[in-house]
Amino acid sequence: MTSDPSYSALAARFTGRPATAGRRLSGALAEVVLDDGRTVIVKSADGPGAVRAEAAGLRWLAEAGSVRIPRVHGHDEHRLVIDRVPRGRPGVAAAARFGRDLAALHAAGAPAFGAPPPGGPEEAYIGLAPMRNAAGTDWPSWYAEHRVLPYLRRAADDGTVTSAEAAEVERVCERLPGLAGPAEPPARLHGDLWNGNVLWGGDGHVHLIDPAAHGGHRETDLAMLRLFGCPHLERITEAYGERAPLADGWAARVGVHQLFPLLVHAVLFGRGYAEQALAAARSAG
């Protein structure tokens, strides 16, 4: 294992322990071994406020005391130091525990739809895409204004969707009050809950990383979890419902809640995701 003085020094600074070794895992990630045998991850980000947003999100999610979240040791303007999660294998028992813990996380609540984590910036990120955390009073209008339409407009400006296709999504936004189901209070969302951010730990628990945390509708996290597949997804959903039953008709609303992440992907990665977003809009009825 080769030494990286820059990452090692940052890890030592925020953990208070000397670093014995370190290596880059990718352009944005490095791992550093401390003298007590623990390993931490140093993650870098280029966007202004991205590290601050991630650190605030991780701490806010951890405060709920439900789903396992890596400890934040500290951060500077561009890099974040967190505990590494020892990896395990997906299992049914861990999936059930995760479903119940996710329900408890959501129930911890948020001050408003769109509320950022305490100490987090209003101008945040979801992956590599900017994401604005601006508070709203009701979910349908907030979701349309601050989650769906900004990415739809950018996709249209980039030529990724046609004007006729954009009009289809806009009509769904207009109908959201009737499509959203019963009103619910703001939930404490992970906000980017796809399978890559779900780590099956060696301790038998699921750990969540890389949040785009904010106050939102709990069905959005669950719908995002279904986008790219997740081991034992049906057991996760079943256990979630045992702890916090979902409102009738939730399965028919999955497409509505997937519009946001699919349009983000369309902006970042192109036409294939735009077509999926259109299919989701049409599935909304």
Residues with active-site annotation: 192
Cβ-in-10-Å burial (0-12, 13-18, 19+) of 182 comes to exposed
**Facing residues of 33 across strands?**
21, 39
CA 214 vs CA 131, 140, 169, 189: distances in Å: 10, 16, 23, 6
CA 120 vs CA 11, 113, 199: distances in Å: 22, 15, 24
Strand runs labelled E in 29-180: 29-34, 39-44, 72-75, 79-83, 123-126, 129-132
